[in-house]
Copies of this chain bind each other. A is one copy, B any other.
Amino acid sequence: MGELREPLQQLAECGLPMALEAMGERWSFMILRAAFNGVRHFEEFLSEISIARNILANRLTRLTESGILHRTPCPDDRRKVEYRLTEKGLDLLPTMIALRQWGEKWGTGVLSNPVLVDDRDRQPILPVTIRSHDGRVLGYMDLCWMHSADITPISADMHDIDDRVRKLSAI
A interface residues (Cβ-Cβ under 8 A, vs B): 1-8, 10-11, 13-20, 22-24, 26, 29-30, 33-34, 36-39, 48-49, 67, 88, 90-108, 110-149, 151-152, 154, 164-165, 168-171
A39 to chain B, nearest CB (A): 8
A4 to chain B, nearest CB (A): 6
A16 to chain B, nearest CB (A): 5
Docked Cα-Cα span, A95 to B146, in Å, equals 21
Contact of A30 among B20, B119, B121, B165 (CB under 8 A): B20
A130 touches B125 (CB 8 A): yes
Q: Which residues of B contact A112 (CB under 8 A)?
A: 13-15
A-B contact pairs, 14 of them (CB 8 A): A5-B38, A11-B49, A20-B26, A22-B103, A36-B140, A91-B106, A93-B140, A117-B144, A118-B136, A123-B132, A125-B131, A125-B133, A131-B169, A135-B168
Quick one: copies of this chain in the complex?
A: 2
B30 touches A8 (CB 8 A): no
A81 to chain B, nearest CB (A): 19
- Using CB atoms, name the residue of chain B closest to A86: B106
Contact of A114 among B6, B18, B135, B141 (CB under 8 A): B6
A103 touches B3 (CB 8 A): no
Q: Which residues of B contact A18 (CB under 8 A)?
A: 103, 106-108, 110
Q: Which residues of B contact A145 (CB under 8 A)?
A: 114-117
